[in-house]
Amino acid sequence: MLGAQVDLVGNLARLTDAIAEAAIRAGRGPEEVTLVGVSKTQPAGAVVELVRAGLRHVGENRVQEAAEKFPVVRELLAGEAAPLCHMIGHLQTNKAANAVALFDRVDSVDSLHLAQALSRRLADERVLPVLLEVYVGDDPRRPGLRPDQLLDVAGQIIELPGLRVEGLMTIAPLGGDARTAFHQVRQLKQKLSEAFPRIYFGVLSMGMSEDYQLAIEEGSTEVRVGTALFGPRQPR
């Protein structure tokens, strides 16, 4: 039903072109930026349509919604390549076991406590890629590691069994200057790389529907886009 209302395949093509153009403007290759389609409130059928059109990464904000949607997506895609599933929203430690079962990567690890909970719930030999979420604004209620604690907490998370820290994720502060925030987080990733040279922090997940082009210009390697891809959010 949604596909008749929203040109999902056309949106994906337009967004892919816009990402490529932003990368080229920044002197980068289009292949350096990955699109994560944020399927919050969107039906499984819309996800499947986009995956069949070439979307390889899908992000969800809530464990409960992913638990209802992802099995349907995989069933509809039986025999076809399934997307990589990202947890991109705030994750409570009591949902760690469900997250480990549902997601291919957790992009919103914002505390040592959460990282420890994820590590404990991994079965033998399983490696779970994660991103550390950082926040560079001044709202104390927002989730994310603060810049002054990043190196200390990252050093402890890196040593946890089963977790592979692949980089950083951020959301630009509400009402703040997005470019400045993205630049700060890019510098934090550089500091992380210098502090832990044996680890490859290749991912910088920055930018959403309204600011992804700025993020790409500031070095983002992954953009998380919902509305510009799926159209308006659907009623829950």
Confidence at residue 124, expressed as pLDDT on a 0 to 100 scale: 81
Distance CA 42, CA 88 (A): 15
Q: Model pTM?
A: 0.94
Confidence at residue 176, expressed as pLDDT on a 0 to 100 scale: 87
236 pLDDT tier (thresholds 50, 70, 90) = low
189 pLDDT tier (thresholds 50, 70, 90) = very high
Distance CA 226, CA 139 (A): 24
Confidence at residue 1, expressed as pLDDT on a 0 to 100 scale: 40
Q: What percent of the chain has pLDDT over 70?
A: 98
The two structure tokens encoding residue 45: 């059928």
**Which residues touch 33 (CB under 8 Å, ≥6 apart)?**
19, 20, 22, 23, 216, 220, 221, 222, 223
Confidence at residue 159, expressed as pLDDT on a 0 to 100 scale: 97
Give the model confidence (pLDDT) of 47-60 as tens digits.
999 999 999 999 99
5 against 104, higher pLDDT: 104
Confidence at residue 234, expressed as pLDDT on a 0 to 100 scale: 78
Given a cut of 80, whether residue 142 has pLDDT beyond it is yes
Give the model confidence (pLDDT) of 92-125 as tens digits.
999 999 999 999 999 999 999 999 999 999 988 8
- The pLDDT of 134-161, averaged and rounded, is 96
- The pLDDT of 69-85, averaged and rounded, is 95
Give the model confidence (pLDDT) of 214-228 as tens digits.
999 999 999 999 999
